[in-house]
Amino acid sequence: MTAPTAWAHLPNAALIDHVLAECRSTAAPWDAAAPWDAAWSASRGDAWRAAWNAACSASRGDAWRAVWIDGPSVARDACAALIAWDDCTWWLDPRLTLENMRTILDEAAHMHPAGVLLLPYKIYLTEVTKETCK
């Protein structure tokens, strides 16, 4: 039996485990999901600060430090959002299209830091995995 993770008590623990397992076991082209235009790059810094503040105020610093990985920034960003915000998984719902997600974030990325951090992972789930499944 393995020891519980530092994030096992969080509502999004199973999804965090999934992201990390996928990152560690897949030779998938994560980099294909990473390109951001200038607007997303600016929003990403603000989103990281918001995630850190949310994680610290919710006493999730241990989980944050434990999940920090030497892997693709796509996985780090997704895990940061999943640790900081319990209610952010709706961004990954397949019924929310990538196009709709981008539209929402184009309009008000500053209001949705979790969405900004989850966008590359959504791109990975939507576009990259679709290509590898052909």
Take residue 54 and report the two structure tokens written for it.
């949310």
Please give the pLDDT value at position 38: 46
Q: How far apart are CA 97 and CA 33, in angstroms?
A: 15
Amino acid at 38: A
What CA dihedral angle connects 93, 109, 40 and 69, to 10 degrees? Answer: -60
Domain segments of the chain as ranges:
13-20+34-132
Give the pLDDT of the chain (134 residues) as one tens digit per residue: 566 888 888 899 999 988 888 877 665 566 655 555 444 566 778 888 888 888 877 777 777 676 665 566 788 889 889 999 999 999 999 999 999 999 999 898 889 999 999 998 898 888 766 655 44
Task: 96-104: list long-range contacts, CB under 8 Å, 24+ apart.
Answer: 97/126, 98/122, 98/123, 98/126, 98/127
Is residue 125 within 8 A of residue 92, CB to CB? The reply is: yes
Residue 93 pLDDT: 96
The overall pTM is greater than 0.85: no
